[in-house]
Amino acid sequence: MSRKVERQRLLDKDRDLENGVSLDKPINTQDVILGSRGNKDDSDLYDDGLSVVEKQKQRSTLYSLKLFTTVLLFGFIISTNVLFFVGNRVIFYPNPVNSTTTTTSSNSTITPGMMDQFNMKYFIYFSTFDVLLLSYILSVFWVVCIFIQGYLYQLSTMVMSVLGLVYLIAKSSLSIPLLVKSLEGEYVSPDILPPNSTILTNSASRQLTIACLANSIGLVVIYLALNVYPTIVYRVEYNIQAAKDKKKHSDAEAMDSVHNKKKRESRINTSGNAKRLAVLSKPELPLILCGMIALIFSSLSSLAIPAFFGQIVEVLSTTGDINTLNNSTMALVIIFVVGSLATSIRAYLFTLAGQRFVARMRNELFGAIIKQDVSFFDQSRTGELINRLASDTQVLQNTVTVNISMAVRYTIQIIGTIILLFVTNWRLTLVMLAIIPVLAISAVFYGKKVKLLGKEVQEILAKTSTTAEQVISNVRTVKAFAKEEKFVAIYGKDVHESYLLGKTLAIAGGIFSGSVFLIAQLAIVLIVYIGAKQVLNGQTTTGNLTSFLLYTLTVAMALAFVSSLFGDFMQAIGASDRIFELMDKIPSIPMSGGQVFSNPPVGEIELNDITFTYPTKGSQVLKNISLKLQTGTITALVGPSGGGKSTIVSLIERFYDPDSGLITLDGVDIKQIDLKWYRGIIGYVSQEPLLFAGSIRENISFGIENASMEDIVAAAEKANAHQFIEQFENKYDSYVGERGVILSGGQRQRIAIARALLLNPKILLLDEATSALDAESEYLVKEAIDRLMRDRTVLVIAHRLSTVVNATTVLVINQGTISERGTHDELVKNESGIYYNLVKRQLGSN
């Protein structure tokens, strides 16, 4: 099996664990921790070992939850059976409220005491126990559902929750008041029940109890199918594997540093996107809570509107009482004013919280990106990273600012309205609630589709951003080769892909919204028809029916808004996946932590048997390189292009860590030195120096905070840059343009040299730093370097003979190895050597 296939197998196994496909199925910990990467370092070993153990803890917690819930479910079905028989025993008496002795159809004598004290007592207790137990079971199901991201489990949980909520609402209004009276010692008799109570109506009560019994059986069957069987099958293997994994975790934990351990624990403790967003929004909690209070007022004001409209209709259709009309109208005005004020406050607070939250998210995300090592940027596209900073965080901002507040508002409206609907007319409410399971199932399918499409849209947008960034950054090259139309076509292709995905998303949204609207409207038509018949039969009044219809419209509109927000939430989850992927990524080369020299360093760098391969390449770039850079000397690296000269500089800067070998500063491994301090003693001029969009003064003082103007001018003079700077109108405050495009190549090179000289480093690295200068400027810069050479370590990469002729040591790097070593005079004598031929070609070209 190839390395790639093996790695994919392990990733699939890990994903199955997280998705809850085989919750208790044991995994091969050795594969997960070591995999096919035999040289995996201690840090990675810790990560994988800790991940395995955390999954085991999660599975153990879920196992306990499932076991406990199984017991409760069986208690629930027993309770429902008792309710069925006890309830029907009350109902099937010929005259339950008769105070005299009665007989059953089999002529058995039944006294009122048996009915009142036994049947009603146990009916009250079992009914209340039934309601509380079902509430707990549903909450446990949702906790398990949050842990287990399996699609089937989520769908079944939603269906069970809808059924359970209908049952809870139907039973709570009856059982809880009766329990309170019973506990207070009041005599509870059937005649205290509401006149239209289902317990006093044979057919309705029979239907209710049978429905409750079926619901409890359905819950148990679904639960057993999803959980109990896999638990029994895999539990034994899980216990064995858990012991092995625990030992692996202990070994891995012992290898890890305290610093990285804290980082990983912090990351693990905030697993789950929704939970992490909640944790990250904690500083905005006061604003959110105040916004919630305002939101509750606005939602409650909306709930009161239909009731007063119903009173107005009732007045017009029956009594014609002008006082009632005036009072209802005035109440509506007050409600509208309070609701509008609360809505304004809610919108302001949530918008402010969202702006603060996203600003902090962008700062943290940018910090996480910039702290990554250079190899991360070698493998990442600039446009994609910028897109995550801008577009993905904007999606989260919309969710926090608008969607969460609207979702909470409409959820409150839905719950409150359903309660009021039951109070107004429970039969019509049951008809209306019949559509909720259909909507829930549709929402699950739609949400799954939207999440996938939303993530694909963000990826395509990142691709278009990358294309645009590359073309605009290299616009001179594009224009020089007249490739404008080509890149317009490439960008247009990416945009068209985004359009096609957006079109698919629009079609899915249109179908879903249209279906929700159709189902809701058909339910309203059915409710109007049944309600009208009840009015004609005298079972309800016109005012009550009007209030009921307004409440129904409120629920319908709230469901429509929630359904549209559901898609936005799924898109936000997709965006948060991409954001947290970056925020969770721990750099392989940490910036902080490590040794800081108490005394000024000598500046002696030594590379001992270094082998290195770039993460993005398969072949070795350096092979067994050993060299020593001593203080007060200049070491020159020469050789053919691609031989590994720039790679040596990158390793000394610790942009990368070698595959094998050791790099030391004054005899100390640089891996043990604080990286920020270490780079602070190194002056570096890259092969193609890039300047920031700012002034010349800001670019020269980039490495030094609060540098004085005198020091900046002195560094510029040493780099032979002062003369051309003075020719600009604004001198050192002149704007250099993005990437320094206003300056010539030689001018940019000298600004970069001045930046390194201002740092006054112990170690000076020049990667072909003098190649862009003319002869006179090169001479002046070399003169400045000669003055700075004392007590410094200087490494120069150059192709020009004049750069290396006076070097202390010349190293010829060819195909990743040091082919020749010595001074210029020594190497030039070897006519068969690479250095001799390089000098000969350069003298010939000159």
pLDDT, one tens digit per residue, over 785-840 is 666 666 788 888 876 776 788 788 889 988 888 888 888 888 888 888 888 888 88
Amino acid at 419: I
Q: What percent of the chain has pLDDT over 70?
A: 51
Across 258-267, 490-499, 516-525, 633-642, least confident range: 258-267
The pLDDT of residue 39 is 39
**What residues have CB less than 8 Å from 587, skipping those under 6 apart?**
371, 372, 373, 376
User: Do 565 and 450 meet the contact criterion of CB atoms below 8 Å apart?
Assistant: no
Contact 739, 693 (CB under 8 A): yes
Mean pLDDT of all residues belonging to the chain? 68
CATH 3.40.50.300 residue ranges of the chain are: 605-845
C-alpha–C-alpha distance, residues 115 and 187, integer Å: 13
- Taking alpha carbons only, the member of 509, 511, 466, 513 closest to residue 491 is 466
Domain span(s) for CATH 1.20.1560.10 in the chain:
270-586
What is the spatial distance between Cα 571 and Cα 565, in angstroms, rounded to a whole number?
A: 10
Identity of the amino acid at 627:
L
Q: For residue 418, is pLDDT > 70? A: yes
**pLDDT at 196 > cutoff 50:** no
> Which DSSP category does 24 fall into?
T
pLDDT over 50 at 539, yes or no:
yes
Which pLDDT does position 14 carry in this prediction? 43
Nearest to 583 by CA among 374, 276, 274: 276
Spatial distance between the Cα atoms of 178 and 83, rounded to a whole number of angstroms: 15
> Which ranges constitute the DSSP H helices of 744-833?
745-758, 775-788, 801-804, 824-828
pLDDT: which is higher, 750 or 380: 750
- Reported confidence tier of residue 122, pLDDT bands at 50, 70, 90: low
| Mean pLDDT along residues 69-85 | 60
Q: Which long-range contacts link 137-145 to residues 24+ away (Cβ below 8 Å)?
A: 137/69, 137/72, 137/73, 137/76, 137/164, 137/219, 138/164, 138/165, 140/65, 140/68, 140/69, 140/72, 141/69, 143/65, 144/62, 144/65, 144/66, 144/69
**Token reading at 770:** 């003098």
Cα distances (Å, whole numbers) of residue 531 to 316, 436, 525, 554: 19, 20, 10, 17
Distance, CA of 111 to CA of 101 (rounded, Å): 5
**Least confident residue range of 10-19, 637-646, 737-746:** 10-19
Q: Count the neighbouring beta carbons within 10 Å of the beta carbon of residue 776.
A: 9
Strands 809-814 and 817-822: antiparallel
Q: Out of 331-345, 557-571, 631-645, 651-665, pick the least confident.
A: 557-571
Q: List all residues 6 or more positions away from 818 whose beta carbon is below 8 Å from its beta carbon.
A: 625, 626, 627, 811, 812
Mean pLDDT of 237-241: 52
- 763 forms bridges with which residues in the sheet? 682, 793
Q: Which residue has the higher pLDDT, 688 or 765?
A: 765
Max avg pLDDT among 301-305, 572-576, 621-625, 685-689: 621-625
Residues 567 and 509: beta-carbon distance below 8 Å: yes
pLDDT of residue 229: 44
Rounded Cα distance between 506 and 102, Å, is: 67
Angle at 541 between CA 416 and CA 533, to 5 degrees: 100
pLDDT exceeds cutoff 50 at 23:
no
Q: Look at residue 734 in the predicted model and tell me its pLDDT.
A: 84
- Of the two residues 329 and 9, the one the predictor is more confident about is 329
Q: What is the mean pLDDT of residues 706-720?
A: 82
| Residue 333, pLDDT above cutoff 60 | yes
Q: What local confidence, expressed as pLDDT, does residue 148 receive?
A: 55
Question: Looking at residue 105, what is its pLDDT?
Answer: 44
- Closest C-alpha to 766, from 703, 708, 689, 842: 689
Task: Choose from 155-164, 446-455, 467-476, 676-685 the range with maximum mean pLDDT.
Answer: 676-685
CATH superfamily name and code, 270-586: ABC transporter type 1, transmembrane domain (1.20.1560.10)
In this structure, are residues 584 and 272 in contact, taking their beta carbons and an 8 Å threshold? no
At 152, is the pLDDT very low, low, confident or very high (cuts 50, 70, 90)? low
322-370 and 542-583 helices, crossing angle to 10°: 10
Q: Measuring CA to CA, which residue among 618, 514, 621 is closest to residue 560?
A: 514
Cβ atoms of 43 and 256 within 8 Å: the answer is: yes
pLDDT at 385 over 70: yes
pLDDT value at 280 more than 60: yes
pLDDT at 575: 72
Q: How far apart are CA 635 and CA 649, in angstroms?
A: 12
**CA dist., res. 462 & res. 582, Å (int):** 14
- Alpha-carbon distance 846 to 801, whole Å? 10
- Find the mean pLDDT for residues 687-706: 78
Radius of gyration of the chain (CA): 38
Nearest to 841 by CA among 641, 625, 635: 641
- The band of 711, judged by pLDDT with boundaries at 50, 70 and 90, is confident
How many Å separate Cα 403 from the centre of its chain? 16
Query: In this structure, how many other beta carbons lie within 10 angstroms of the beta carbon of residue 32?
Result: 20
Which residue, among 585, 601, 605, 610, has the nearest Cα to 677 in the 3D structure? 601
Write phi, then psi, for 767 (nearest 5 degrees): -95, 90
Domain spanning 605-845: CATH 3.40.50.300? yes
Query: What was the pLDDT predicted at 839?
Result: 82
Does 208 score more than 60 pLDDT? no
Residues 6+ apart with CB under 8 A from 278: none
pLDDT at 664 over 80: yes
Q: What is the band of 97 on the pLDDT scale with cuts at 50, 70, 90?
A: very low
Cβ neighbours around 323 below 10 Å, total: 9
**Does residue 621 carry a pLDDT above 80?**
yes
